[in-house]
Amino acid sequence: MPTLDQIEQKSAAVGVIGLGYVGLPLAVEFAKAGFTVTGIDVDPRKAKVLSEGRSYIQDVPRQDVEAMVSAGRLTATTDFSALKRLDAVSICVPTPLKKTKDPDISFVAAATEEVARHLPPGQLVVLESTTYPGTTNEVVLAALAKEGRQAGKDFFLAFSPERVDPGNPVYNTRNTPKIIGGVTPQCTKLAVALYRHAVETVIPVSSTQAAEMVKLLENTFRAINIGLANEVALMCRPLDIDVWEVIDAASTKPFGFMPFYPGPGLGGHCIPIDPLYLSWKLKAFNYNARFIELASEINTKMPEHVVELAADALNGVKKSVNGSNILILGVAYKRNVDDVRESPALDIIRLLRAKGAQVAFSDPFVPKLDIGDGVVLASAETDRLSGYDAVIIVTDHAQFDYKAIVKQARLVIDTRNATKNVTEGREKIVKL
């Protein structure tokens, strides 16, 4: 086992399984803290790029990767047998939803099987993948405890939910507080001691289940409140009230109110998915998570609402969606990032194409977009907006010149209030 002395002296060998948006920043932080880190991923391209000292994650500077690789503190491999040489390993693999909206923990199960197969005596294993309460014990612990091995003695196991916010200029892996809950008190103690080197603030909780629930509460809170903001936007439209003005005015209250904003739909790996993990788990207890289900219903309907807005706006100038040329501005799920996972832009594009529209997109962070069915679109330039019948602002990247966009475009459907400071040409703007 990694002793507390090994951890404090940073002689413990650390591994990270899954080198994506969560795993790579964590691996780099452990390396920067002075540990020797081995990153493991099934994608050989990631291992190759990292071995060359390059980064493929926007929030991880190339110079950081290059420095850690050059110093010999960061290596990457696809060979899971490297686990035999590690004192501690963090599992940071995806946990998507199936088409049935049931949790897909196949990546966690596969990573856990590899850990169990190569498990050296006393290894510390920390699961970071977001999942339903009980996963760490029911899936990971069950696999590691085979052959009579005991948690807290033969191996150590904890759960620490990732709290990555891509593109956030203030909070990153190091300065975002970390929650840790172990299977046993000693498991928690070791995991806390290790993570304190890579993260400024570490907060222990009583169990893995509590730590799992913390993450789901955080994103359920956001999903439900965004759902409320979206429903208020839907209510304000027939009342001819500007929802953005209402939210801004309500935000002046210094207590009892926290602003959330409407939009074209939820995107990213966390907010659209995590609450449904909790809802699914509770069905086993015959409990209907009504807030979660209702918020999900409202949020997933927003792309359809955006398409309806576009259709109404085009009808207002005697054009139909069928045959119209429409440009989607921004396809990443949030501003100033290159991540398109679960992006509402994908649904909006598919819905418009199904209605016969010719759809293009422009995004400074996304050069190509796979919209499914073998269709891949390339990002277009924004210098000839007058050639489109309508422009839909789906992601409000800072790089877009919104004054120029409104000036050049025939119609603008603004789903993010990106044109709030534009005065000229406001008659062409349709807001969410």
**Over the stretch 97-115, which tens digit does the pLDDT of each residue have?**
887 778 899 999 999 999 9
The pTM score is: 0.92
**Over the stretch 305-331, which tens digit does the pLDDT of each residue have?**
999 999 999 999 999 999 999 999 999
State how far the Cα of 361 lies from the Cα of 339, in Å rounded to an integer.
Answer: 15
State how far the Cα of 222 lies from the Cα of 236, in Å rounded to an integer.
Answer: 21
End-to-end Cα spacing for the chain: 56
H or E segment to which residue 291 belongs: helix 290-316
Give me the CATH code for the 223-431 domain, please: 3.40.50.720
Q: What is the pLDDT of residue 42?
A: 96
Give the residue from 154, 114, 106 showing the smallest Cα distance to 131. 106
Binned at pLDDT 50, 70 and 90, residue 3 comes out as confident
Binned at pLDDT 50, 70 and 90, residue 1 comes out as low
How many other C-beta atoms can be found within 10 angstroms of the C-beta atom of residue 406?
A: 24
What topology is assigned to 4-206 in CATH?
Rossmann fold (3.40.50)
- Number of residues assigned to the chain: 432
Q: Is 301 helix (H, G, I), strand (E, B) or coil?
A: helix
**Over the stretch 128-159, which tens digit does the pLDDT of each residue have?**
999 999 999 999 999 999 989 999 999 999 99
Task: For residues 6-28, give the mean pLDDT.
Answer: 96
Residue 328: which residues within 8 A CB-CB, separation 6 or more? 345, 348, 349, 359, 360, 361, 362, 392, 394
Q: Is 309 helix (H, G, I), strand (E, B) or coil?
A: helix
Task: For residues 7-25, give the mean pLDDT.
Answer: 96
Give the residue from 126, 185, 133 showing the smallest Cα distance to 158. 126
Catalytic site includes residue 187: no
**Over the stretch 197-239, which tens digit does the pLDDT of each residue have?**
999 999 999 999 999 999 999 999 999 999 999 999 999 999 9
Catalytic residue among 92, 187, 236, 270: 270
State how far the Cα of 7 lies from the Cα of 195, in Å rounded to an integer.
Answer: 9
Residue 142 CB-half CA count within 13 A: 8
Q: What is the pLDDT of residue 150?
A: 96
The tokens of 385 are what?
Answer: 């907006």
For CATH 3.40.50.720, list the domain ranges present in the chain: 4-206, 223-431
